Amino acid sequence: MNARRVQARVPKGVRTERELLDILDAQLGFPDYFGVNWDAFDEVIRNLEWLEPYQVVIVHEDIPLVEDRAEAKIYLSILFSAIEHWDMQDNHELIVCFPAECKEQVEQIRTGRKGPSWFRR
């Protein structure tokens, strides 16, 4: 399959759910029905039918929402669940990247413990 690629870059210092989702919406072009909340993000990132076959890449310059661990955990849970979902599909690939120096902190937020993480290089 010849997949086209779309990429979003999440800059440093994103502090709110709304700011993060607005950035992703602007760069990935979510459908008009996108509701700018966690449930809507979970729906569009797990159901990429609104895109032609694409490789979807989300590159983070740091960990968004890091000052609000509960919000950061929701975001990371949605992302990693979507990665698992798309790993079992053929028509889309979701790649999520964080800086290497954030690896341990992402794992701690996501799971509440230290350990190996899902980082792609």
What is the set of domains in the chain, with CATH numbers? 4-111 (3.30.370.10)
Rounded CA-CA distance 97/88 in Å is 19
Long-range contact pairs involving 99-103 (C-beta distance under 8 Å, separation at least 24) = 99/60, 99/61, 99/62, 102/60, 102/62, 102/63
Q: What is the pLDDT of residues 67-110, one digit of tens each?
A: 999 999 999 999 999 999 988 887 888 999 999 999 999 999 98
Give the per-residue pLDDT at 114.
58
Global confidence as pTM: 0.86
